[in-house]
Amino acid sequence: MTVVKVTVDTKEVRDTLRRLSPRLNESVRKKAIRKAAKPFTAALKALWVSAPYKGKNPHRKAIAAATKLNSPKRMGGEGAPIRVELGVVLGKKGGARAKGMQYVYPWLENGFKHKASGKFIAGSHRSLAWSRSNVTAFMQSIATEILVEARKILGAANVA
């Protein structure tokens, strides 16, 4: 699996999160990540539905249907980073609309060796290229949402 790590570390976000209790801090970060990721999840789905491959597109539709945000999970103790994955879920866990048809995703994304000819067919790396081009916008969106959620809890007057 291709992994792109995103770290949100701005002074304003750090200062605001310090004012919250550890439990509220984690809750705000998770809620902000979910909210900020919605448009990016939709954009990644749209990218796969409109991918220019030959033939009918049931696999591309299945890939789009199986594109999901795995819920944010804390990786350690208090104040630890929160890990989240945005990508294609393979197998039956991809959802009812995918029907397991997203099994070609690794081949389309990363390439494969053709058995009959022995040639390597290069992958498109669509998801990787998309994630690299959108990582800064995603980080900024998360930072903005963290501040919005924290302001709801602390009150607009108390946040610098």
pLDDT, tens digit (0-9, with 9 covering 90-100), for 22-55: 888 888 888 999 999 999 999 999 999 999 888 7
Cα gap 67→86, rounded to integer Å: 7
In contact, 36 and 144? CB cutoff 8 Å: yes
pLDDT, tens digit (0-9, with 9 covering 90-100), for 74-123: 767 666 777 888 888 888 888 888 888 888 889 999 999 999 999 999 99
In contact, 154 and 16? CB cutoff 8 Å: yes
Tokens of 118: 């022995």
How many angstroms separate the Cα of 154 from the Cα of each of 38, 59, 136?
Answer: 24, 46, 27
124 pLDDT tier (thresholds 50, 70, 90): very high
Per DSSP, the residues of 12-80 read HHHHHHHTS-HHHHHHHHHHHHHHHHHHHHHHHHHHHHT---SS--HHHHHHHHTEEEEEEEE-SSTT-
Tell me which DSSP letter residue 99 carries.
Answer: T
Q: At residue 159, does pLDDT exceed 80?
A: no
- The stretch 115-144 carries a mean pLDDT of 91
Q: Residues 115-144, buried b or exposed e (16+ Cβ, 10 A)?
A: eeeeeeeebeebbeebbeebeeebbebbbb
